[in-house]
Amino acid sequence: MNPLEGKTKVEIEQLLQDYIATVNNPRYKGNMNVINSKFPEFQGMDVQLLQDYIATYNNPDYSGNYAVINSKFPEFFAGVKKKRPTTRRYGFFFGRWFFGLVRHS
């Protein structure tokens, strides 16, 4: 099971950005025990996968482009919570009756 299962894509992206910012913060001096303790969401995650993500982010070829980097790590996004479709109504009311269209997106 993916420890991030049930989170939305946006939540996972933000979590990864926060993780990278913490890893690259000189205050923590690269102490992965302290850093990982701040991210219980990653508990049970493959440690090598996290290290590869960090190395890819820090690779100047990717210039910190999260869209490209995240596309190389689909494992983080397995089991992403699907966004519920929204319903929009277009039309008008005549008394208590609604005349119009219902659109799902």
Query: Which tokens hold the place of 30?
Result: 């690269």
Model-level pTM? 0.75
Mean pLDDT of the chain: 86
- In this prediction, residue 56 carries a pLDDT of 97
> SS3 for 45?
coil
How do the domains of the chain map onto residue ranges?
Answer: 1-105
Contact 68, 61 (CB under 8 A): no
Q: Which residues pair with 24 in a beta bridge?
A: none
CA of residue 77 relative to chain centroid, distance: 7
